Amino acid sequence: MLAELGISSVEELFQDIPRKALVRKIGLAKPLGEEEVVGRIDGLLDRNKPLGEFDSFLGGGYRSLYQPAVVDGLLQRSEFYTAYTPYQAEASQGTLQAIFEFQSLWAEMTGMEVANASLYDGATAIAEAMLMARRLHPGRRFVVPKSLFWERRSVLENYARGTGAEMAEVPWDPATGELDVDTLKRECANDCFGLLVEYPNSFGVLEESLPTLKSLIGDVPLVVAADPLSLLLLEPPGSLGADIVVGEGQGLGSSPSYGGPLLGLMATRKAHVRQMPGRLVGATRDRAGRRAYTLTLQTREQHIRRSRATSNVCTNNALVALSFLLFASSRGPRRMRELIESLAERTHHLADALSHVEGMTAPRFRGPFLTDFVVGLDGVDPSRFLEAMAERKILAGTSLADPRPGAAPLGFSGLLTSVDGRVDNRAIDRYAKAAAEVLAELRRSP
Amino acid sequence: MTEGQAPATTESRPPDFHQARWNEALPWEIRPPVAPTPVTSPFVPPALQRKASLRWPELTELEMVRHYTRLSQMNFSIETSFYPLGSCTMKYNPRVGEVLARRPGCADMHPAQPDSTAQGSLELLYRLEEALGAITGLPNVSLQIGAGAHGEFVALLLTRAYFEDKGEERTEVLLPDTAHGTNPASAAMAGFTTREIPSKNGCVDVRALSEALGPKTAAFMLTNPNTAGLFEEDVLEIADRVHGAGGVLYYDGANLNAIMGKTSPGKMGFDVAHLNLHKTFGTPHGGGGPGAGALCAGSLLKDYLPVPRILKEGRRYRWSYDFPKSIGKVKSAYGNVALNLRAYAFILAHGEEGIRRVSERAVLNSNYLGKRLGAHLDRPFKTLVKHEFVLSGSRLKERGVRTLDLAKRLLEEGVHAPTVYFPALVEESLMIEPPETESRHELDNFYDAFVRALSDTPENLHAAPRNLAVDRVDEVLAAKEPKLVWRDL
């Protein structure tokens, strides 16, 4: 190859790099063989304690459910796994049809008319929905629940920064944990371009007012962030007046993997599709009249529209979307419904068991819930409680407080609690027993 | 064939390639969904109960396996085909990454676990940050990045925070006319106006840049080598000029595969760089994602990086949120950890020499294939290229053929088409990137396929592709009458 190029050394191909910019040494170690790589990484992973070593009560939008073998088996088909964006439609019908099916699935789950090919994760999907709402409606303020998990709120604020948009908050009802509808109505009438409602909210609570909200806010776009599995039981947001429905899809088909990759879901009404961010697959015909699929409405996207695109997003999380589709296809609606019912039943059993523990209020809020609820821990530092429980091989919940120094306090001491797919009644009993012991200890030595 | 022998002749036989053509039905055509019924649950208040159960088919496992296996057979992929998609770095994704990412210590970890139970992940991410810092020369790294474009956006948020901190109002981002579309889109999302700098011979026109720089300039976004595959030889002067005007110099890491161990964004004077781990460090592309990103910052912007960041204290690692100037969060949790693990495995396997050799081989492949194909189509710029090169198909128009036809005809050969119609400053452009994992044998096969396609009749080129799952797809119809879900059919 060097001879073909008429050069004697590959160095000559780098002579266009200025001398002052040359790197002599990167500072990496020597190469390792595959067996050594495996040994090195296993050595690191051995220092982790995965969920399987605990009774896990961590939720908050992530789920660790049993994955049917067929999901990963099909996912690992080379032709799905190592393809790229289906720019050449004729060579990519497999990926394109799978995305079309995925879009159809998310549209059916949400009761919406169209869905995109996915975004990075649930938090950025909410943020993209906010930017989309801003394109749909005038106004400067985006109305969000005060209960919104701080992390999602922070992502929203970062996505809003370049637009001049501001956040307006709707507090929660101290008894139910649900939105304060009077404030909501007032805020939405004040220079507002969109309203976000979580379904269920970051406290796990179902907003019972949701069916009435669209009539209260008029033509202000209603953005609903929904949990996909819960939608097997819940009235779809599309039937409740939602304009954009987003969600985090990791729980169906993927492992939590310490937080990534995840799956951002987004659906909307047909009338809004040209303001939607992200890839879209459409059905069309080939020259012989066969049904075929292709990326479409690309004039919304960055590679065509550049600075006037609906978003800068270039990738979709296609493989995670495929997992979501495979999981749903493998389980089918009936077994997915049984799964969420079973999780909800165990979660309610957990709440009941914890309600008898001295020092705990379970649930902290009276509003209806499915698979997550807040446990009140009055007078106890949640982080000390979590550490002590982890020593007893129980991951007792997720802290809801913003950990950044100087951040606004949450206003109550509590944890978000859920049930892992593996939690059974005995694990719930262990939680209640250990919690009683730990809280007693913490009271003795505060 | 060994070095120095005559190149393969164009008389070589075309592959007898046919893609599966299943005319595969949709799941609800295989088995219609059952009629919806009301869903009741004791845990859901009546007003929120689903009135009509989810309409989705209940396939048997075999029906499902056959359906998705057949779909997979109607896809080109790295593991089946040469995939010279310019700017996408379609290198082989080592299988070992798949094994490791499925270990419970990687997959079965919740982001809310206490740090004490995630010491392995924390150390792995910390070491990956160190390695990426070394490769880029920008030692402060955040892995909380979803993909390349997300990294661009976050870098511009850092830039914004930096100037707000300094009390300077800078509103404009400059970029070359060859920039990836994500660059201007990211700048707009971060609230900046954008201005394109014209290129001269495929590279930044430094004089035009100098004239555009000023007190309004927040940043100049550059990828080097650029999207034409050319190394911006004036990069040090560009850095001086941008910094002289008080601006931030941003490196789009899409093309990092060309320069590792040769130069680095830090050495070239960049202040911040995003990396696409799914390109350079071999994590799978997955049909379009998930990507994996990293943001590497020098001293100028490091204080503004997202939280949390990993701190090492003795032998322990922990997440810290105590960075008062940080912009906060840009994505849930800590980034695409399972992909970051694959990237770390890639770096461990390659090591110092291997990482350098990645770039040497990628650049050698590109120059070799560029030289051979340059005998057949115009090369608009200088011929010393980095990891990719651009050809112009404008000459094809004499025969009534377009670059698009050539791309479709190439698919008939069982190879993926190059990127087409980008960069836009080259008429009828083809952008070809043969990554380091491809052998000379594959490059020569591609050359033969390319020449066969070029010399085919205009009729055949217009009719292509004829041996794939579908014939030429009507994209205009798709956009005119959007059918985006099954109810539209």
Name which of B72, B321, B368 is nearest A5 (Cβ-Cβ): B368
| B56/A333 Cβ within 8 A | yes
Quick check: helix, strand or coil at residue B127?
helix
Alpha carbon distance B421, B445 (integer Å): 24
**At which residue do the structure tokens 């005559």 appear?**
B6
What local confidence, expressed as pLDDT, does residue A420 receive? 86
Q: Is A109 on the interface with B (CB under 8 A)?
A: yes
Alpha carbon distance B165, B168 (integer Å): 8
| B284: nearest CA partner in chain A | A82
Q: Is B329 on the interface with A (CB under 8 A)?
A: yes
Q: Where are the alpha helices (DSSP H) in A301-360?
A: 302-305, 318-355
| A14/B71 Cβ within 8 A | no
Name which of A3, A52, A286 is nearest B4 (Cβ-Cβ): A3
What local confidence, expressed as pLDDT, does residue B2 receive? 42
Name which of B27, B233, B407 is nearest A329 (Cβ-Cβ): B27
| B332/A61 Cβ within 8 A | yes
In sequence order, the 6+-apart residues with CB closer than 8 A to the CB of A356 are A432
Alpha carbon distance A210, A56 (integer Å): 31
CA distance B104 to chain A (A): 6
Q: Is B74 on the interface with A (CB under 8 A)?
A: yes
A234: which strand partners?
A: B49
Please answer whether residues B162 and B301 qualify as being in contact, where contact means their C-beta atoms are separated by less than 8 angstroms. yes
Please give the C-alpha separations between residue B246 and each of B170, B208, B225, B274, B296, in angstroms, as whole numbers. 10, 17, 24, 21, 20
Q: Is B446 on the interface with A (CB under 8 A)?
A: no
Q: Which of residues 393-422 of B touch A (CB under 8 A)?
A: 407-408, 411, 416-417, 419, 422
**At which residue do the structure tokens 């792995």 appear?**
B124
What local confidence, expressed as pLDDT, does residue B1 receive? 37
What local confidence, expressed as pLDDT, does residue B471 receive? 97
| A269: nearest CA partner in chain B | B484
First to last CA, chain B: 52
Q: Is B124 on the interface with A (CB under 8 A)?
A: yes
Name which of B192, B360, B485 is nearest A103 (Cβ-Cβ): B485
| A98/B484 Cβ within 8 A | no
Q: Estimate to the nearest angstrom the gap between the alpha carbon of B30 and the chain centroid.
A: 35
Q: Name the helix (H) or strand (E) containing B364.
A: helix B337-373
| A116: nearest CA partner in chain B | B484
In chain B, what are the domain boundaries? 96-349, 352-479
Quick check: helix, strand or coil at residue A115?
strand
What local confidence, expressed as pLDDT, does residue A312 receive? 86
What local confidence, expressed as pLDDT, does residue A94 receive? 98
Please answer whether residues A257 and B266 qualify as being in contact, where contact means their C-beta atoms are separated by less than 8 angstroms. no
What local confidence, expressed as pLDDT, does residue B4 receive? 42
Q: Where are the alpha helices (DSSP H) in B249-327?
A: 265-268, 277-280
Q: Is A210 on the interface with B (CB under 8 A)?
A: yes
Which of B64, B66, B68 to probe the A interface (max A CBs under 10 A)? B68
| A5/B289 Cβ within 8 A | no
Please answer whether residues B149 and B186 qualify as being in contact, where contact means their C-beta atoms are separated by less than 8 angstroms. yes
Alpha carbon distance A200, A418 (integer Å): 13
Name which of A52, A235, A288 is nearest B108 (Cβ-Cβ): A52
Name which of B284, B324, B486 is nearest A82 (Cβ-Cβ): B284
Alpha carbon distance B401, B407 (integer Å): 11
Q: Estimate to the nearest angstrom the gap between the alpha carbon of B181 and the chain centroid.
A: 12
CA distance B5 to chain A (A): 9
Please answer whether residues B478 and B29 qualify as being in contact, where contact means their C-beta atoms are separated by less than 8 angstroms. no
State phi, psi for B429 to the nearest 5 degrees. -75, 150
Alpha carbon distance A121, A256 (integer Å): 12
Quick check: helix, strand or coil at residue A192?
strand
Alpha carbon distance A413, A397 (integer Å): 13
Burial B302-316 (b: 16+ CB within 10 A, else e): bbbbbbbbbeeeeee
Alpha carbon distance B320, B318 (integer Å): 6
Looking at domain A52-64+332-444, its CATH superfamily turns out to be: Aspartate Aminotransferase, domain 1 (3.90.1150.10)
Which of B316, B285, B359, B343 has its CA nearest to residue B141?
Answer: B343
Which of A11, A28, A35, A96 to probe the B interface (max B CBs under 10 A)? A28
In sequence order, the 6+-apart residues with CB closer than 8 A to the CB of B6 are none
| A164/B348 Cβ within 8 A | no
Name which of B53, B106, B186 is nearest A333 (Cβ-Cβ): B53
Alpha carbon distance A402, A405 (integer Å): 8
Q: Which of residues 238-267 of A touch B (CB under 8 A)?
A: 239, 248, 255-262
Alpha carbon distance B372, A23 (integer Å): 30
Please answer whether residues A276 and A252 qualify as being in contact, where contact means their C-beta atoms are separated by less than 8 angstroms. no
Q: Which of residues 340-359 of A touch B (CB under 8 A)?
A: 341, 344-345, 348
* Residue A291, CB-side half-sphere exposure with 13 Å CA sphere: 15
Alpha carbon distance A168, A139 (integer Å): 12
* Residue B359, CB-side half-sphere exposure with 13 Å CA sphere: 25
Which of B231, B206, B134, B214 has its CA nearest to residue B170?
Answer: B214
CATH number for the domain formed by residue range(s) A69-325: 3.40.640.10
**Which of these CATH numbers, 3.30.1490.20, 3.40.640.10, 3.40.190.150, 3.30.360.10, describes B96-349?**
3.40.640.10
In chain A, what are the domain boundaries? 52-64+332-444, 69-325
Q: ipTM for the complex?
A: 0.97
| A390/B114 Cβ within 8 A | yes
Q: Is A401 on the interface with B (CB under 8 A)?
A: no
| Number of cross-chain residue pairs from A and B with Cβ atoms under 8 Å apart | 650
Please answer whether residues B377 and B164 qualify as being in contact, where contact means their C-beta atoms are separated by less than 8 angstroms. no
Q: Which of residues 177-206 of B touch A (CB under 8 A)?
A: 180-182, 184-194
| B190/A161 Cβ within 8 A | yes
| B78: nearest CA partner in chain A | A82
What local confidence, expressed as pLDDT, does residue B13 receive? 67
Low-confidence ranges of chain B (pLDDT < 50): 1-10
CATH class of B352-479: alpha beta
Alpha carbon distance A336, A344 (integer Å): 12
Q: Which pTM value belongs to this model?
A: 0.97
Name which of B135, B333, B348 is nearest A37 (Cβ-Cβ): B348
> What is the sign, positive or negative, of the torsion defined by CA atoms of B397, B402, B403, B408?
negative
Alpha carbon distance B286, B24 (integer Å): 21
Which of A199, A264, A397 has its CA nearest to residue B44?
Answer: A199
| A161/B90 Cβ within 8 A | no
Please answer whether residues A298 and A273 qualify as being in contact, where contact means their C-beta atoms are separated by less than 8 angstroms. no
Which of A112, A227, A275, A307 to probe the B interface (max B CBs under 10 A)? A307
pLDDT profile of chain A (446 residues), mean per 10: 96 97 97 98 98 97 96 97 96 98 98 97 98 97 98 98 96 98 97 98 98 96 98 98 98 96 98 96 97 93 84 91 98 97 98 97 97 93 93 96 93 93 96 97 85
